[in-house]
């Protein structure tokens, strides 16, 4: 379930604008950021996004490599969507691709099986255990 951070109107998610979803290591969940504010957290239900960009900040990654300490520098940017029958392709084994990111091994998100870089995707499902893309 996506839990809104507060009941303040500033924390309402605008579905006409992109959100940035990243792994929150302190809370053990995914955080949704929009307009510079962390607006929600999700630790159980998947987050569905469309027109996605898989972003890794180069300077942030260099800082991780230098300090050997993780920081927020990578995530998925896209429009948040309600689950829809068209997202069934993210469940079909033939069409989905699982991606991963490890700052010590890769400079971008990569396909878990082929290790080829992935920068854009039409749809993404961010779940507690993995990120699936089509």
pLDDT tens, residue order, the chain (134 aa): 566 656 778 888 888 999 999 999 888 889 999 999 998 888 888 888 999 999 999 999 999 999 999 999 999 999 988 766 666 666 665 678 899 999 999 999 999 999 999 999 998 989 888 888 88
Report the pLDDT value the prediction gives residue 91, as an integer from 0 to 100.
66
Report the pLDDT value the prediction gives residue 2, as an integer from 0 to 100.
66
Phi and psi at residue 7, to the nearest 5°: -90, 5
Look up tokens 């990578």; give the residue.
74
The rounded distance, in Å, linking the Cα atoms of 65 and 119 is 21
CB neighbour burial string for 107-126, b if at least 16 within 10 angstroms, e if fewer? ebbbeeeeeeebeebebbbb
Report the pLDDT value the prediction gives residue 67, as an integer from 0 to 100.
96
The rounded distance, in Å, linking the Cα atoms of 133 and 111 is 9
Q: How many CB atoms lie within 10 A of CB 95?
A: 13
Q: Which residues contact 101 (CB under 8 A, 6 or more apart)?
A: 54, 56, 74, 108, 109, 110
Report the pLDDT value the prediction gives residue 86, as an integer from 0 to 100.
65
Could you tell me the pTM of the whole model? 0.87
Look up the domain containing 36 and give its range: 2-133
- Domain count for the chain, please give it: 1
Q: Which residues contact 116 (CB under 8 A, 6 or more apart)?
A: 110
The rounded distance, in Å, linking the Cα atoms of 92 and 127 is 15
Report the pLDDT value the prediction gives residue 108, as an integer from 0 to 100.
96
């Amino acid at each position: 379930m996506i839990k809104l951070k507060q009941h303040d109107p500033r924390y309402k998610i605008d579905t006409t604008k992109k959100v940035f979803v990243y792994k929150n290591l302190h809370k053990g969940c995914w955080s949704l950021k929009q307009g510079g504010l962390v607006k929600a957290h999700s630790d159980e239900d998947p987050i569905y996004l469309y027109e996605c960009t898989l972003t890794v900040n180069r300077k942030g990654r260099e800082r991780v490599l230098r300090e050997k300490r993780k920081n927020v520098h990578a995530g998925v940017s896209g429009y948040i969507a309600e689950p829809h029958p068209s997202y069934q392709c993210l469940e079909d084994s033939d069409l989905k691709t699982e991606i991963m990111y490890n700052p010590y091994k890769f400079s971008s998100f990569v396909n878990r099986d082929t290790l080829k870089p992935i920068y854009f995707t039409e749809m993404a499902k961010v779940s507690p255990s993995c990120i699936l893309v089509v």
